[in-house]
Amino acid sequence: MRTFYGTELPNPLMLGTAQYPSPAILEQAFRDSGAGVATVSLRREGGAGQTFWQMIEDLGVLILPNTAGCHTVKEAVTTAHMAREVFDTKWIKLELIGHTDSLQPDVFQLVEAARILTEDGFQVFPYTTDDLIVGERLLEAGCEVLMPWGAPIGSGRGLNNEYALRAMRAEFPDVPLVVDAGIGLPSHAAHAMELGYDAVLLNTAVARAGEPQVMAKAMALAVEAGRLAHEADPIEARDMAEASTPVIGKAFLS
């Protein structure tokens, strides 16, 4: 399994902590999913109090703070520094939103912020588009992980551009890649792993499901199935049928 800044994840599922009906359901969803990483927004959860933070710590998973809601380099850098103090970690999921409706990253500011944070000792997980040039610039800025979107945050549309995601996997074979955002169904998560991605990050699909705990378990099974399928080297799709039963030894009627 791929390592992320030298850390091997116990499970390739990363799960967000927002929008759950209750803290108890959030906790149970994590238990049922076996997720190895919890993403936490300092800005959105800042008023949750010590009880919330203690519950997150008690989950026993790796914490990936994020800069959700930031729209400028200054906002993102300041939020990252606050998160490092609160969570005592170098990890930061860098979100820098440029478009209000699609929540598409502002890739120009993203690269700038990634460079600043990397130089300051952060280990940056950038939420980015599936653009190869942007990916290259983020790696040049010091990132060792790329997190391209599958679809807009919370949309549940799955993998909008499979071609681009395949191209990114091929272009950066040695870089840990995570499909982040847009996952709505277990089949979407499995597909991402079948493409050779190293992990998936999702939140809304579990938190807003009618039964979050059940969906959390479904996502865990899907991620594992997709990972195994990729390792099994699956057959390629064909336009024509190919008989699975040999004709040698077939009886002929005269």
Q: Encode pLDDT of 31-76 as tens digits.
A: 999 998 999 987 655 445 677 778 888 888 999 999 998 999 999 9
**What pLDDT is attached to residue 172?**
97
254 has pLDDT over 80: no
DSSP 65-127: EE-TT--SHHHHHHHHHHHHHHH--SEEEE--B--TTT--B-HHHHHHHHHHHHHTT-EEEEE
Instruction: Tell me the mean pLDDT in the region 99-122.
Output: 94
Share of the chain above pLDDT 90, in %: 74
Q: Is 203 left (phi over 0), alpha (psi -120 to 50) or beta?
A: alpha
**What pLDDT is attached to residue 59?**
85
**What pLDDT is attached to residue 48?**
55
Q: Report d(CA 155, CA 126) in Å as an integer.
A: 19
Share of the chain above pLDDT 70, in %: 93
Q: Report d(CA 202, CA 171) in Å as an integer.
A: 24
Instruction: Tell me the mean pLDDT in the region 8-31.
Output: 91
Burial 148-170 (b: 16+ CB within 10 A, else e): bbbbbbbbbebbeeeebbeebbe
Instruction: Tell me the mean pLDDT in the region 15-42.
Output: 91
Catalytic site residue 93? Answer: yes
178 has pLDDT over 80: yes
Q: Which of the residues 74, 93, 217, 250 is marked catalytic?
A: 93
Q: pLDDT tens, 226-242?
A: 999 999 998 888 888 88
Q: What is the model's pTM?
A: 0.90
**What pLDDT is attached to residue 41?**
86
pLDDT: which is higher, 87 or 93: 93
Instruction: Tell me the mean pLDDT in the region 168-192.
Output: 96
5 has pLDDT over 60: yes
Q: Is 182 left (phi over 0), alpha (psi -120 to 50) or beta?
A: left
| Structure-token pair, residue 248 | 């040698």
Instruction: Tell me the mean pLDDT in the region 84-112.
Output: 93
Q: What is the mean pLDDT of the chain?
A: 91
pLDDT: which is higher, 119 or 55: 119
